[in-house]
Each structure stands twice: as C-alpha cells, then as structure tokens.
Structure 1
Amino acid sequence: MSMPGNNMANRPPLTDAIIVALARLVDDSQTEKREPSHSDIEFQIDRVKLSMADPGRQGKPVGKSKRVRGTLSWALSNNVQAGEMLVAGLLATVQGYGGFRPDSTNYCGAEAIANLASAVATQGWELTPEGGLQPRVLASLSGKELTTALRTYARRAQQGALDDPLLAGTAKDLLEATAAHVLMQKWGSSSTSANSPTLLGQAFTALGLATPSDTVAAGELAHKRVERTAYDLGCALNALRNKEGTGHGRAWDSRITPSQARFAIESMGSIALFMLDGL
C-alpha cells in the first residue's frame, strides 16, 4: 500500500511516549554538555518546517529537551507526518554523533536508550544497538506480542496513512497476516497455501463471524449482515490489490487514485481490528 515518496521505513511512529523518550535522549542538563547542539536540533526542526512550533524561537532560552518535546508535541496534534520525519532526523543526528556508543563522549546513557527502545517497541518498531529504527519483523513474533503489533499496523491503516502499513519482512498484506494470526490463536495452525478469500473465511469462521457461505437465518441479528459485508469488502480489497498492484513493493499503481487507496487502507485497518477484537 505504498504511495510514491512515502516510505514507512523512513518515518518512524510518533506517540507521547516516544516524544518523552526522545527528549530525554538529547537532554544534557544533568551531565556535561554533549552533542547534538542546539544548532543541530534547530537544523532538523527547520528541515521539516516545524520552526513555528519550536519553543526555542519564542523569546526565552530553553533547553534542548524542552525544544524537542515542545516541537514534537505540537506536531503530534497538528502535523504527524512532519513529526515523524523529525523523529527520524533527530535520531540520525544523535547516531551520527556517537550517542549510542558507550565509549563516545556524546553517549546518551543506557537508561535513556532503553526507554526509547521500549517506547518504539510498543508501536511495532525496533531500535537497533547502533541507533537505527526499523519495523519489527513480525514473522518472528507470536501470541500477544504479535496481536499488539498487528493492532499498531491496523490503527495506522485506519488513519489513512499512505506510507504502507504492510507487514515488515513478509509479502502478506495486513488482512492476510491478521487472518493467519487469528487461525494460529484459535486453531493452532494456519495454511500458508490458502488463497486470500479462503484464509479470510477461515478466520471469520474461527471467530464465529458470518460469511456469505453461511445461510441467512430467519430473524437473525443485523450484525450478521455487517459481518458478511466486512468479509466481502476484505475480498474485494484483496482483488483490487492483486489486480492493480505492481508486485514490487507498491500495492497501487497510477490507475488507483489517492482517495481510492486511502479508502482501501482505512478499510483494511478496520477489518483487521474487527478480527483482532474477536480474539
């Protein structure tokens, strides 16, 4: 579900916990002064055009931590994409100055690094020992950890993110991966050879949800119709991707409009969460 110019790998998530942890990473108020400098932070803020949110431009001197926290907090409410780009830029700056190397004079400290690693992990990302950020390879997760990670991708998709909520490290899309996880949790196995409609139908059945193959019972509750419609929509979305996708990391080509892609992504997120809520 990637769109040109929006690569999820280059845009880590932005949450309140990540903001606090990243601000702590650049905070040198309790230690000897270390890089990155105010100038470095200002450069990154300007690069993503968030200078209007920078507390350091408001007439009173503030520390580096407060500048980062204030700017990112504003971005979380007003411009998430710019905030995510700033997170990436700040991390690259800290990394470049040796902030993740214990033998460096600019070392951020084990606790600050551990706090950031924990904050990004809850969003389905991994902080490497060298300070790099990458989506977690979900194929290595299982059980509650995988449920949490899938929820993160589904919520991101629900927000209409066009930067690819596909699962890192697999060729499966969000619905297929969620359906496979449901079957593992409910039945203890999942067929890797089943086509998407079959896989989705098995997951719906395991969760006690109706599909079009279930006979409509007299006087059945209206939510059964909703369940059948959700299944049909999931199959339609998969068919759209298979028909229009390039097969090389981009799920939509130029024939799919941004509004169509956004609707598809948001719908995938909603159906995935619908399944996960049934676990």
Structure 2
Amino acid sequence: MADHPPLTEAIIVAMARLVDDAQTEKREPSHSDIEFRIDQAKLTSADPGRQGKPVGKSKRVRGTLSWALSNNIPAGEALVAGLVSTVQGYGGFRPKSSNYCGEEAIVNLTAAFFAQGWELTAEGTLQPRLLESFTGKALTSALLAYADRARRGSLDSPLLAGTAKDLLEATASHVLVQKWGTPPSTSNFPTLLGQAFTALGFATPSIPMVPGEPVEKRIERAAYELGCSLNALRNKQGTGHGRPWVSTVTPSQARFAIESMGSIASLMLEALTP
C-alpha cells in the first residue's frame, strides 16, 4: 500500500478551506462527493454531517479530519488523499474552472504539505518530495516530519517516500553532513550510525561505561543497538515497492520497528537542532 500524505492541524484547516464554498457560488465537490470519500476512508461515524444537524462542507471536513487526527490517523490520511483527488477531478485547481477553489486556499494547502515534505503541484497532484531536493535546515525539518509520523505509527512503510533509504540511514547521513560538513564515506550501517552518534556526542557500546556517568548514556547505547537491530530486519532485496521487512517479521513487530525508527531519528534530529 502506498504511503498516504500526512495529516496535521495545519493540513486540516487548509483542507477545510479548500472545499469551503460558503462565501461563493456553490461549487463541486458536493456533499455527496465528500460523503463518499468519508465512507471510503471508513470515517462515517466521525462525520458531523451524519449527526442530525446540517453542516457546511468546511465544518464537515474539518470535524471528520480532527477526529481522525486524535483517533485514526491512517484513515484521516486516506481521506486527505481522497479529497484532494476529488477536488482535482472537478477542476478545483484550474483558475478557469467554475469549481476553482481560489488561489489563497490552494497556496495555504500547498504550504501545509510542503512543511511535511510533500508537494502539491499547480495541477493538484499530491506527491512526496524527494529528500535529495532538501538541504540544511529544510532537510532537518523534513526528516523531523517523517520521524514524527513514524513515531505515531502512521507510515505505511518505514521507507521515506521517494527514496530507497530508510529513515535512520537518511537521518544519520544528514547528521554527518551538518556536523562534519561532508557526506558519509561508508555504506556500512552500524559504522554510519556510530559516526552520527559520535558527531552528536552520544554514547555507543564501543565507549565503555564509566562510574557515575549520566543515565542518558545508557539510553543512547540502547538506542544505537536498537537502531542496528532494526536495520538488520530490513529487506535488503527490496526496492521500495515490496515488503520492507524480512519475511519472519510479524505486523506487530513491523509497527514497533517503524515507531522505534521514528523515536531514534527524533532523538538524533532534536540533538542536532537544540
């Protein structure tokens, strides 16, 4: 299953604005279209439009997505993707269309997606941005956004969209560029992660424990070991389109692995930008 676009408070507000036609002549998508997408995402029970009182399109979308953000993020992400496709299909991104959503609404949604590492094109196509297109602080922000989604278990796979690198490898490489000014010279993951930990001042198992050292050092060593274990679980024959884990990994183990990758990446990135 392909990775869905992200769901955040900013995206919810911008999505609601995109379908809002309260201040204009009525335009598509209709309530029926919105209802179809809500049902498709299995969020029927969260729809304010099914609760006895008539509500506008904006309030309907915002209420459903807000519930999803707190209770079922993957379903909310699926709804976001569906709504954008529906608006695109009705010509909502074309200025000359009778269903045009308006420049401000589109710009706001584009900016909200951009902050999460996704691109909404002028034609309404929604796609993840290649990490290679980011540098410096922008790449740090993009990686933090992916790490946050991984921590919440909302990524469909541990692969970063548009790359063949997993989250920890991409994060470790970025840390080295930011700290040492040069890209990593090794493709060996334990060495790469160890170098990144060293650049951040983190402890690794190769650094002996000393009496009275902060307990955080124990956490750092454990994070390194866990990171290497997670990398070993990856399906090295995969291309990003197949199963990302070795065949013996269960769904619950895969979810734990994804969330753990997000936690370790966040630990590194937040140390990079105190």
Q: Distance in 2 between matches of 1:145 and 1:162?
A: 20
Match of 1:223 in 2: 216
Tell me if the contact between 1:98 and 1:106 (Cα under 8 Å) persists in the aligned partners: yes
Match of 1:58 in 2: 51
SS at match of 2:258: helix
Identity percentage over the alignment?
A: 72
Tell me if the contact between 1:246 and 1:253 (Cα under 8 Å) persists in the aligned partners: no
Q: Which amino acid aligns with 2:2?
A: N
Deviation, structure 1 residue 253: 4.1
1:79 and 2:63 correspond: no
Deviation, structure 1 residue 226: 1.9
Tell me if the contact between 1:122 and 1:149 (Cα under 8 Å) persists in the aligned partners: yes
Q: Which amino acid aligns with 2:268?
A: M
Structure 2: gaps (5+ residues): none
Q: Distance in 2 between matches of 1:155 and 1:188?
A: 26
| Distance 1:114-1:165 versus aligned 2 partners, 3 A rule | farther
Deviation, structure 1 residue 192: 4.9
Q: Distance in 2 between matches of 1:132 and 1:87?
A: 12
SS at match of 2:127: strand
TM-score (normalizing by structure 1): 0.91
Cα deviations across residues 210-264 of structure 1 (Å, max 9, x unaligned)? Answer: 11222333432222222122112111111121xx454132311432101111121
SS at match of 1:212: coil
Tell me if the contact between 2:117 and 2:145 (Cα under 8 Å) persists in the aligned partners: yes
Match of 2:137 in 1: 144
Q: Which amino acid aligns with 1:102?
A: P
Cα deviations across residues 64-110 of structure 1 (Å, max 9, x unaligned)? Answer: 11111122122222222221111111111100000001111111111
Match of 1:7 in 2: 2
Cα deviations across residues 172-227 of structure 1 (Å, max 9, x unaligned)? Answer: 11111101111111110122543111111111111111112223334322222221
Match of 1:248 in 2: 239
Q: Distance in 2 between matches of 1:57 and 1:209?
A: 52
| Distance 1:105-1:121 versus aligned 2 partners, 3 A rule | same
Structure 1 segments of 4+ aligned residues over 4 angstroms from their partners? none
The correspondence for 2:159, drawn from 158, 166, 176, is 166
Structure 1: gaps (5+ residues): 1-5
TM-score (normalizing by structure 2): 0.93
Deviation, structure 1 residue 158: 1.2
Q: Which amino acid aligns with 2:114?
A: A
Tell me if the contact between 1:162 and 1:262 (Cα under 8 Å) persists in the aligned partners: no
Match of 1:131 in 2: 124
Tell me if the contact between 1:127 and 1:133 (Cα under 8 Å) persists in the aligned partners: yes
The correspondence for 1:156, drawn from 149, 154, 157, is 149
Match of 1:24 in 2: 17
Over the residues paired in the alignment, what is the CA RMSD in angstroms?
Answer: 1.6
1:202 and 2:191 correspond: no
Match of 2:91 in 1: 98
The correspondence for 2:225, drawn from 222, 232, 252, is 232
| Distance 1:47-1:180 versus aligned 2 partners, 3 A rule | same
Q: Distance in 1 between matches of 2:206 and 2:52?
A: 66
1:185 and 2:166 correspond: no
| Distance 1:216-1:58 versus aligned 2 partners, 3 A rule | closer
